[in-house]
Amino acid sequence: MAENRLLHPRLRRYAAETVQTLYKELKLPAEGYSKAEAEKSRLRWGGNQLEKQRPDTVGYRLRRAFLNPFATILAVLAVLSFVTDVLLASGGSRDWSTSVIMLVMLLLSGTVRFVQELRSKQVTDHLAKLLHTRVTVWRGSRWTELPSVELVVGDLVRLTAGDRVPADLRLTKAEELYVSQAVLAGESAVLQKQTEPLADHCLHGYAAYTNIAFMGSAVFGGTGEGVVLAVGKDTVYGGHSEAARDRKNGFDKGAHSIAWVLIRFMAVLVPVVFVACGISQGNWSAAFLFALSVAVGLTPEMLPMVVNACLAKGSAAMGRKQTVVKNINAMQGFGSMDVLCVDKTGTLTGETVQLEYYMDLLGNESRQVLEFAYLNSLYHTGVQNPLDGAILQCQEMPGHGEAFRTLPQRFLKLDELPFDYERKVATVLVKSGEAENLLIMKGGVESVCARCSQIEYKGRRSPFGADGLASVHAVVDEMQEDGMKVLAVAYKPMPEECLKPEEEQDCILLGYLAFFDAPKKTAAAAIRALQERRVGVRVLTGDQASVACSICRRLGIDTQYTMTGAELECLTPDELPIGIERTTVFSELSPRQKALVLHILQENGHSVGFLGDGMNDLPAMLQADVGISVDTAVEAVQESADVILLKKDLQVLSDGIEEGRKAFCNMAKYIRITSSSNFGNILSVVAASVFLPFLPMTSVQLLLLNLLYDTLCLVLPWDAVDAESCAKPLEWSGRTLGRFMRHFGPLSSLFDLFTFAFLYFVLCPAVCGGPFSSLTVAEQGYFVALFQTGWFLESLWTQVLILHLLRTRKIPFLQSRPSRPVMAVTTVGLFLFTALTFTPAGHWMGLTALPPIYFGFLIQVVLLYLLLVTWAKGRYNKRYRELL
């Protein structure tokens, strides 16, 4: 079977061997590993790090800064220039300038990105200190806590309720140990683990390995110890992790989509430029070099830096708002999220739950119901929940503390079946000191009643007849409609001293517990804020439908369409998409069903976030596009989340969505505006290369223009964003990028051609003393320098000013002002880069000083260009109802 192929051979072997054989054959010391022995094990069998999860080191970020497609193109250009201009050139005509400039650009581009990535690393490293998963390990004859990544094969690990299994373990001790392997198998059933060797070497399915605890499993109850047999990529979880990562790579998919749009444009334009330049100029090597520079010129070289800066700034802003962003790519997920799925308890309601009533079958106060419920909660070793905590608080009741403190002495625990989300009951077996032991069951009303054949009222037992359930609902429905959580309590005398699931039948219904779970004061306002941002809120809870609907109605959540877990199971595959799409409140769900709801919503085209904190939320957390947890969540859920809230409040999430959309808008500004502007420049080059006897701009000048403009764009992460731009979810993809480029790019080409005509037929002949063909070689060189400098400045000015025009749907500077950093940097940058043409550095790159008359022409061209783009922007908005 496929599952068995993921099992490491050590797991299959030692699952069938005794613990003594395991220790003997692996030569494990009784006192545990020393530090040196642990290091030897790590060298021999590997560390506890999943495959393809590279350590986030400075060296790794340095490689990533310089080893990317854009940097590779620049490096290839530098090498080709070195070959053609230095190695193949004669001694007097050798020119190092082009190669040197390209290498400087490469170093500058990589350095800027590296510095920015280091800043984002500092932010994430600082926040990640809160998130390290730690495990209890037997080392050097004592139990010590270590980060889970330091585990090695042969370590002895201790497990308790609420833990996530940190590696694949052969269990050596198990006391009422119950785990959920939902992360691996997708099933939410809770399995009991034991330590005895297995007889069959060819077991099928993970559930059959009862003495193995698999990495990623959730410990629901009891305690245990186990020897690590597989770590990192050798674990079953490591084999599954690639698929899990594929479900949560929305950012990478969007980035690849954008890259493919640019590649398609390059695939068309670069060959055209190469052929056109080669035919018109006759120099095919220069044409090839220029065509490659066109590829770089079309592509926003600073795209990784601007994107990382936007994401890092957004995550840092969230850090100041009590939110830890573990993965800065999750900021994009916040921006595109249009559905947020939340649990009810602790999110819509308060963290604390109060026990309001403990009653018999007719609603009268019953001390026996409270005592039995207290014993059940006290002896239940599964993951504790607020309801158990509220029940155990009854020992603080005035005048009753001593009685409850003596209950454990009168009723000793014998066995238990912990709560799971399939049975929806928790059962303990206690020794009562009487003739028979007592089975005490507590859980959901429907689940408990389904296991009862009798009722007891004032000591008298009667059959649980056909109308028994109707009588139960007559008592509990009104409380549930008022928003109370109601549990049922049942018991059964039995002689046995161990529990089996089949014995949870023919019980005696005793009474009910009612808890008050008030809505949070801030929840209603936060939900309204989410709805105003066009984020639909779906409630996914394990509570009864009546309780969930009562809370949701108070908070303004539409409860017209609701669905229970049982109703969900009855839907056919064709009915699932429609049924889940229209439903807003899901109740009585299992962990598997929560993940299923998210999966269907994603298949329906939604970007889905999930907020949860319990072990039952783990499958949904892994399924979500953005997994959100809280600092009080169980460790396994915290580790799986992309974002951790230090305050469990939907208002914080609303702020996070706004920050994510701001980051997205600023990324979109750079990508769309720069790509369309570059596209226009390349179209101009294609046209000029056909009609001009020289290149309108050298490859070095074209790359320099791109670099200067991109350097100015590094301030975009700090730009202001219009409120209208953040009003709805935003799509991170290249789906509409090509349309934007085709709409605005040719407009700049139109003015480029007008500038070409002015320079070639008016300005350059006037300054040089005649048309190009009548000039000497030296005069022609000056003619070309004037022409190239004129287009260089016109391109720079139009690119920078168009950034201000297209950054907003409104009228720039009047209705929407850029941030002060953006205004200052672009203004100073324009002045400095214009002044560059008057300096020796500009002359070195083939630029020259232009006469004053040109700048008068430049101002008129720029104004006309801005007016035309303003008209085109209005037309684009009207047609497509969007800009960025």
C-alpha torsion angle, residues 62, 66, 68, 74 (rounded to 10): 180
Cβ(703)–Cβ(102) under 8 Å?
yes
DSSP state, residue 320: T
User: DSSP secondary structure string, 663-676?
Assistant: HHHHHHIIIIIHHH
Cβ(369)–Cβ(458) under 8 Å?
no
Is 513 a residue whose pLDDT tops 90?
A: yes
Distance CA 91, CA 158 (A): 74
Of the candidates 795, 847, 764, 783, which has an alpha carbon nearest to the alpha carbon of residue 682?
795
Is 605 a residue whose pLDDT tops 80?
A: yes
CA 203 to each of CA 174, 191, 209: distance values in angstroms, whole numbers, following the listed order? 21, 16, 7
| The pLDDT value given to residue 225 | 93
Of the candidates 174, 173, 161, which has an alpha carbon nearest to the alpha carbon of residue 217?
161
* Number of C-beta neighbours around residue 504 at 10 A: 21
Residue 143: strand, helix, or coil: strand
| The pLDDT value given to residue 54 | 47
Distance CA 596, CA 732 (A): 24
**Alpha helices, H only, 320-385:** 330-336, 367-379
Tell me the mean pLDDT in the region 136-145: 91
Cβ(408)–Cβ(378) under 8 Å?
yes
pLDDT tens-digit map of 30-69: 899 998 999 999 999 888 876 444 455 666 667 766 765 5
Name the band, by pLDDT with cuts 50, 70 and 90, for residue 601: very high
Distance CA 209, CA 247 (A): 27
Name the band, by pLDDT with cuts 50, 70 and 90, for residue 154: very high
Considering only residues 341 and 264, tell me which one the structure prediction assigns the higher pLDDT.
Answer: 341
**Dihedrals phi, psi of 589, to nearest 5 degrees:** -95, 150
Instruction: Give percent above pLDDT 90 in the chain.
Output: 14
Of the candidates 295, 307, 310, which has an alpha carbon nearest to the alpha carbon of residue 71?
295
Question: Helices 737-758 and 250-281: crossing angle, nearest 10°?
Answer: 30
| Mean pLDDT score across all residues of the chain | 79
Distance CA 350, CA 569 (A): 30
Of the candidates 616, 640, 678, which has an alpha carbon nearest to the alpha carbon of residue 803?
678
Name the band, by pLDDT with cuts 50, 70 and 90, for residue 370: very high
DSSP state, residue 210: T
pLDDT tens-digit map of 377-431: 998 876 667 788 888 888 877 767 778 888 888 889 988 888 876 778 899 999 8
Of the candidate ranges 133-137, 236-240, 667-671, the one whose mean pLDDT is the lowest: 236-240
Stated as kind and residue range, the H or E segment containing 872 is helix 852-880
Distance CA 42, CA 38 (A): 6
Distance CA 467, CA 323 (A): 51
Stated as kind and residue range, the H or E segment containing 267 is helix 250-281
**Beta-bridge partners for 323:** 645
Tell me the mean pLDDT in the region 698-720: 76
| The pLDDT value given to residue 138 | 92
Residue 745: strand, helix, or coil: helix
Is 495 a residue whose pLDDT tops 90?
A: no
Of the candidate ranges 149-158, 191-200, 308-317, 770-779, the one whose mean pLDDT is the lowest: 308-317
Residue 560: exposure state from Cβ atoms within 10 A (0-12, 13-18, ≥19): exposed
Tell me the mean pLDDT in the region 324-334: 68
Residue from 338, 343, 388, 642 carrying the catalytic annotation = 343
Question: Helices 367-379 and 401-410: crossing angle, nearest 10°?
Answer: 60
Cβ(152)–Cβ(41) under 8 Å?
yes
Q: Is 343 an active-site residue?
A: yes
Is 496 a residue whose pLDDT tops 80?
A: yes
| The pLDDT value given to residue 830 | 86
SS3 content of the chain, % helix, strand, coil (to 5): 55, 15, 30
| The pLDDT value given to residue 814 | 77
Of the candidates 121, 133, 53, which has an alpha carbon nearest to the alpha carbon of residue 641?
133
- Whole-model pTM? 0.64
Cβ(630)–Cβ(202) under 8 Å?
no
Beta-carbon contacts of residue 831 (< 8 Å; ≥ 6 apart): none
| The pLDDT value given to residue 183 | 61
Of the candidates 489, 406, 500, which has an alpha carbon nearest to the alpha carbon of residue 445?
489
| The pLDDT value given to residue 248 | 45
Considering only residues 868 and 117, tell me which one the structure prediction assigns the higher pLDDT.
Answer: 868
pLDDT tens-digit map of 179-228: 877 666 544 456 788 898 987 655 666 778 889 998 878 787 788 999 99
Cβ(489)–Cβ(512) under 8 Å?
yes
**Dihedrals phi, psi of 429, to nearest 5 degrees:** -115, 125
**Which residue type is seen at 101?**
I
Name the band, by pLDDT with cuts 50, 70 and 90, for residue 246: very low
**Which residue type is seen at 233?**
K
Instruction: Give percent above pLDDT 70 in the chain.
Output: 76
Cβ(291)–Cβ(274) under 8 Å?
yes
DSSP state, residue 810: S
Of the candidate ranges 1-10, 440-449, 538-547, the one whose mean pLDDT is the lowest: 1-10
Is 120 a residue whose pLDDT tops 80?
A: no
